[in-house]
Structures are given as C-alpha cells and as structure tokens.
Copies of this chain bind each other. A is one copy, B any other.
Amino acid sequence: MLSKKTKYAFHALTYLGKHRDQKTVLIQDIAEEYGISHKFLENILLELKKAGILGSKKGKGGGYYLIKDPADVPLSKVIRLLDGPIALLPCVSINYYEPCVECKDEAKCGLNKVLIQVRDEMLNVLTNKSLSDILDKE
C-alpha cells in the first residue's frame, strides 16, 4: 500500500496538472482541496521539486507549478521518491539493495529469483502509467 505521503503527492500532481493554465498554484489551495495539513504537504511538494518534477516561485504571486509533461511523470518515479523501493524485498531492490541476513547464498535463493521477475513486471506496470493517464480520467 502507498503511504499517505505518496497519495497526497499524486493528489497534488493531479491538481497542478489540472491547473497548468495558471502560472502558479498555492500550497494552501491544494491543501484545502484535499484536506491535507499545509506543512505536511509543503514537505511533499519540496521533494517533488528536488526531483525536478515541480518548479516553484517565491514571493507574492508565487506558488508551485508543473515543470514536466504529465506523460513524463511515471507512477514509478513518484512512488520511489516518496515511498522508496518498488521491489518486494531489499535483496531485489535496484535502488535500495540490501542483502537478507538470513540468506546464505543469494544466487541459490528461489525467492530472490522469483521476486526479481516480479519486480521487473511491476516496474513495467508502474512505468507505463503516468500522470497523464490520471489526468485523462479526471
């Protein structure tokens, strides 16, 4: 399951995607629309900005806006950013790899091998869907 952080990120991205005609959107507007705490949402938007998905502008008339084309924002990118690994275990994670302490020989672990396949298939699913798919259905 996704954390609330990731869910909120998708909400925010959807909102920003729907308001691409205006230059910027206030944190407060997004927060009110979805009943999210202003400060909590701030952290999330900041992470999306650091990842190059959003841009921001300070001062009066400022706010956040979408930099990327919605088709170039796959679900996998957002999930990895806020929730961490797509993989089902650390020993099959691409970006957050860690061996299992109980595993004597990873090369002989059937679970490891099957979960690598699962990871690739899931990654495929989550990379082939993007923010544009969400926006198309709103």
Contacts and interface: CB of A to CB of B under 8 A. Distances in A.
> Which of A2, A75, A101, A110 has the most C-beta atoms of chain B within 10 angstroms of its own C-beta?
A110
Contact of A114 (B2, B102, B137): B137
A110 B1 contact: no
Nearest to A135: B110
A49 interface: no
B35 A111 contact: no
A108 interface: yes
A129 B110 contact: no
Given A11-B102, A102-B11, A125-B125, A1 B84 contact: yes
A1 B90 CA distance: 8
Contacts of A135: 110
Contacts of A108: 138
29 contacts: A1-B84, A1-B85, A2-B89, A7-B100, A11-B102, A14-B110, A35-B102, A36-B102, A75-B118, A109-B138, A110-B133, A110-B134, A110-B135, A110-B136, A110-B137, A110-B138, A111-B134, A113-B134, A113-B137, A114-B129, A114-B133, A114-B134, A114-B137, A117-B129, A118-B125, A118-B126, A118-B129, A122-B125, A125-B125
